[in-house]
Amino acid sequence: MLKNTSLGRFRAIALLEGLSFVLLLFIAMPLKYLAGMPLGVKVVGWAHGMLFVLYLLFLVEVAVVHRWPLVRILGAFIASLVPFGTFVLDARLRREEQPATEPAAN
């Protein structure tokens, strides 16, 4: 569950940004180039651009609040450039967020 913290907000934006990237690459762009339907790229591309900017802003916030090292910040940035990268990042952040006493979900 996403919490209303800097990390929770970052995870939420990361998931939305990742989803928009996947939609852009695997649905909107094939529709544009294979079916001659460019509107999807225009709409999804615009939304993805806005979410990417928000992702970067929230990355700066979470990096400052949690004092992330530069390597971790760069890793989170690179995750936004790789398809499905933000989903992998979210899984890692979720594991770290779990209390040590709480058993991991199977």
Tokens encoding 5: 């913290």
> What is the domain range of residue 62?
7-91
Inside any domain, residue 14: yes
pLDDT tier for residue 101 given thresholds of 50, 70 and 90: very low
Mean residue pLDDT of the chain comes to 91
Residue 50 is classified by DSSP as: H
How many domains in the chain?
1
pLDDT tier for residue 20 given thresholds of 50, 70 and 90: very high
Inside any domain, residue 13: yes
Inside any domain, residue 106: no
Going by C-alpha positions, the residue among 8, 1, 13 that lies closest to residue 86 is 13
Inside any domain, residue 103: no
Inside any domain, residue 2: no
Beta carbons of 70 and 53 less than 8 angstroms apart: no
Inside any domain, residue 100: no
Beta carbons of 2 and 8 less than 8 angstroms apart: yes
Inside any domain, residue 104: no
Amino acid at 57: L
d(CA 18, CA 56): 13
Predicted pLDDT at 96 = 81
Predicted TM-score of the model (pTM): 0.86
